Amino acid sequence: MAQVLEFKLPDLGEGLTEAEIVRWLVDVGDVVTIDQPVVEVETAKAMVEVPCPYGGVVTARFGEEGAELPVGAPLLTVAVESAEGAAVRGTSASGPSADRNTGSGEGLRPAGDGTGPAGESSGNVLVGYGTAAPAARRRRVRPSAFTAPLSSAPAPAPAPSSSPTPGIGAGEPMTAASTAAGASASASASTSAPAPASVARSSSVAPVAPVAVGHSSAADSGQMEGADENHGPVAVISPLVRRLARQHGLDLRHIAGSGRDGLILRADVESAIRGADDKRSADPEVQSVSESEPVAGAGERIPLRGVRGAVADKLSRSRREIPDATCWVDADATELMAARAAMNGAGTGTGGAAPKISVLALLARICTAALSRYPELNSTVDADAREIVRLPAVHLGFAAQTERGLVVPVVRDAHSRNAESISEEIGRLTEAARAGKLTPAQLTGGTFTLNNYGVFGVDGSTPIINHPEAAMLGVGRIVAKPWVHQGELAVRQVVQLSLTFDHRVCDGGTAGGFLRYVADCVEQPALLLRAL
């Protein structure tokens, strides 16, 4: 006797709303244990292996690699043994009822909090799922004819329908397309699970069908979009299908759906697009127009999602909300480079040479000293309350370019670290960033950002503030240039420093004072001794 439990994409924290499936770690039919990683997903902040809170046999997977799912969408279903078999979390005779909501939004509860015997919780630490209090029973909603898992058998030929827009039960989750019988059929084919009625009796949440690849679930919008806003009723569920048709100027009323009951699928719209393209290529007038002027929508389209999408959103918000200004100065870094060489050449650590101190770590240490003098720049603005919030600790972010794009790891409590400690932490976080293993917590919570664009061989920049911070210091390359030193022309190591700041938190005098202090410390590192 087994029951099929559904595992949904959990809330991975920090306000993330979706994740892209990078790699499935299990197949349909595999046996999984509690807390075994089942899928690797990429969020806007990091790569995460998601563990499954159930133990049993995988009966269905929802979405293919490369598909993007919203938080709360089904990931997979697992057939677990009931209380008559082995004791499975949430189904043992002495544990809590199997009628529990395990979807997104239910957090973890510690052992002994009234949800069951101690040790029953899976112990996972991801936000948004895990052992929860028993949910109230809800009326079972019969699965719609549109719902079907990807792993189930091929569907019979579509039957004609007298209505182009099938009815939908209130609150019933829907998928973008149906190519198979139903979620219970998948479970039966894989594990000989009981009929859907028994599944419904064992869970308080009605089974949700897998989301077809390339389509969005109607659960995103809460209901099926049964009517085109300009053209009347059409048999379409997926917002993606509507957007695709709108982008290519297609009228959905003129497209015949190949799905069940005439449902218009993405393949139907793509076929119509190809037909329209073939027609345009065969029309001499259209050809002459396309040769003389660019066609709207032409060119490669790259989705703004994942890290690239998160960067775009944050930078756009920064430009939209923060009235920023930039000031810059050239500084003679010859003495700073000499001090670094002396520090790295002196002393040994346990079992060998002491760790090397990077130039970025020295600049970070200078920044923390400058922020102690000018705390206005270590702050944020609460626009709703019309208040400037000065922050007590310096959590220093630094820009790091990786194969996945630009990320900003954060050195926690940088104000309490020396140059060596900062250098070690920057090195550790940089390696994690290159490996794609930074956690969301390591990428958030910064109060000030240091951006070393000199590694790209450029001298200057006007950085965009990392919202909701108040300032960012940019550092160009350190290069030999002619410089007046002690009244004589000499070749010195020169660097350009630029400060972009939120003009709401301070005026130019404060920003200039901060930047001048940083430049003075670069030119005379001994000034740092006063800040120790």
503 included as an active-site residue: yes
Per annotation, catalytic residue among 228, 283, 507, 520:
507
Per annotation, catalytic residue among 261, 459, 503, 520:
503
Q: Which residue has the tokens 């938080």?
A: 71
Tell the burial category of 288 from Cβ atoms under 10 Å away from its Cβ (0-12, 13-18, 19+): exposed
Tell the burial category of 61 from Cβ atoms under 10 Å away from its Cβ (0-12, 13-18, 19+): buried
Name the percent of the chain in helix, strand, coil, to the closest 5. 30, 20, 50
* Helices and strands counted in the chain (H then E): 10, 23
Smallest CA-to-CA distance from 228 within 215, 213, 241, 219 is with: 241
Contact 250, 269 (CB under 8 A): yes
Distances (CA, A) of 2 to 89, 135, 188, 203: 13, 21, 10, 12
In this structure, what token pair is assigned to residue 21? 């499936």
Which residues are CB-neighbours of 44 under 8 A, at least 6 positions away?
16, 305, 306, 307, 309, 310
Smallest CA-to-CA distance from 314 within 88, 419, 468, 176 is with: 468
In one-letter notation, the amino acid at residue 403 is: E
DSSP label at 416? G
Angle, alpha carbons 37-41-47 (nearest 5°): 95
Angle, alpha carbons 86-88-91 (nearest 5°): 105
Which residues are CB-neighbours of 409 under 8 A, at least 6 positions away?
397, 398, 400, 426, 429, 430, 432, 433, 438, 442, 443
CA distance 195 to 192: 9
Q: What phi, psi does 425 have (nearest 5°)?
A: -70, -40
Residues involved in catalysis = 503, 507
